[in-house]
Structure 1
Amino acid sequence: MNLPNKLTLLRIILIPVFIIVLMTGYYYISAVIFIVASATDALDGHIARKYNLITNFGKIMDPLADKLLVVSALICLVELGDVAGWMVIVILAREFTVTGLRAVAAAQGIVIAAGWSGKIKTVLQMIAVPALLLKNWPFVYVGIPFADIMLWASVIMTIVSGTEYVIKNKQVFKA
């Protein structure tokens, strides 16, 4: 197993650790774990592209690991009362829609590559979650609701990217 795939597995292994730490009330430690896990996403992709280590495992598991990490965090934050449930429903609906679209396309021999809007969505989510976990620190001291802005931006980008995927790939539904 190559290094990018090991980093993806590390991200998956960190998810239950993150959940346990967060749900026992250690917000700051859980934020550090989330940031480390998120950093493995950028690192594994960079290494895979730079050294031509792209594998089928990575193509499937890397985006799945991202989704599991973010959605796990957001569901925990709903449970803790820090995020509105409807926001997570919007995010989950987009993820199920795009994943389903990719599965139908794959059955037709079509590959739907990740677009920039989806990558921006993921980055915004990976910024929003630690900002929420850190209770908007350090922005709380200057009165900027950074965590809320990032959460709203990620929800809006979720809608935009989901709509973009459906529109750009509507031919998949016609087959």
Structure 2
Amino acid sequence: MNLPNKLTLFRIILIPVLVIFMYLPISSKYLISLIIFIIAAITDALDGNIARKYNLITDFGKFMDPLADKLLVIAALICMIETSLVPGWIVLIIISRELSVSIMRAIAAADGKVIAAGTSGKLKTIVQMVSIILLLLGAHLNDNIVLTIGKVLIYLAAALTIYSGYEYFSYNKELFEDR
């Protein structure tokens, strides 16, 4: 197994660790969760860059890297619903889009096609991750300004989620024409 794939698996392993810390009744839970989330987000940036730079792109990585990103973001957001950091309807929009695009990619893969992440999808992921970081930081610091910026960004992430989902489906509508 190459390094980018190991980083992807490491990110997946960090997800239950993040969830555990989000629910622990300790005062530093947001700080520890923030650190875990940042480490996971860094592995997301590293694995793709290493894979492209050293031509280590694999089918495993093409499938698991975006899945790991989705699982990380969704896990963090679900935990944040209970602490009222994120409204549930935003999480529902994000989960719906992620499942829909993943199913579309699976259908394409069955036809021997690969649907690469588009610019709007990458931007959506970045905005989601930055908003989660700011929300966790604001919760840890009990800072309303940081929380407000994080909340504005999560609303922007919801809009980007809807747009990128629309873009994926409109660019790939031929997958569904003969079904």
TM band (smaller chain):
over 0.9
2:45 alignment partner in structure 1: 42
Within the candidate set 152, 155, 159, 2:158 is matched to 155
CA drift at 1:21: 0.9
Deviates further, 104-113 or 56-65: 104-113
Describe the SS at the equivalent of 1:124.
helix
Deviates further, 116-125 or 127-136: 127-136
Is 1:22 equivalent to 2:18 in the alignment?
A: no
**1:140–1:71 distance in 2 versus 1, CA, 3 Å:** same
The residue type equivalent to 1:65 in the other structure is A
CA drift at 1:141: 7.0
**1:65–1:51 distance in 2 versus 1, CA, 3 Å:** same
1:100 alignment partner in structure 2: 103
**1:143–1:47 distance in 2 versus 1, CA, 3 Å:** closer
1:56 alignment partner in structure 2: 59
Within the candidate set 31, 35, 50, 1:32 is matched to 35
Aligned ranges for residues 1-175 of structure 1 at < 5 Å? 1-25=1-25, 26-135=29-138, 140=143, 145-175=148-178
Percentage of identical aligned residues: 54
Describe the SS at the equivalent of 1:119.
helix
TM-score normalised to structure 1 length: 0.93
The residue type equivalent to 1:130 in the other structure is I
Describe the SS at the equivalent of 2:138.
coil
Q: Retained in 2: the 8 A contact 1:139–1:146?
A: no
Paired with 1:20 and 1:137, the residues of 2 have a C-alpha distance of 16
Describe the SS at the equivalent of 2:117.
coil
CA RMSD of aligned residues (A): 1.8
Q: Retained in 2: the 8 A contact 1:104–1:172?
A: yes
Q: Retained in 2: the 8 A contact 1:136–1:145?
A: no
Q: Retained in 1: the 8 A contact 2:135–2:146?
A: no
TM-score normalised to structure 2 length: 0.91
5+ long unaligned stretches in structure 2 = none
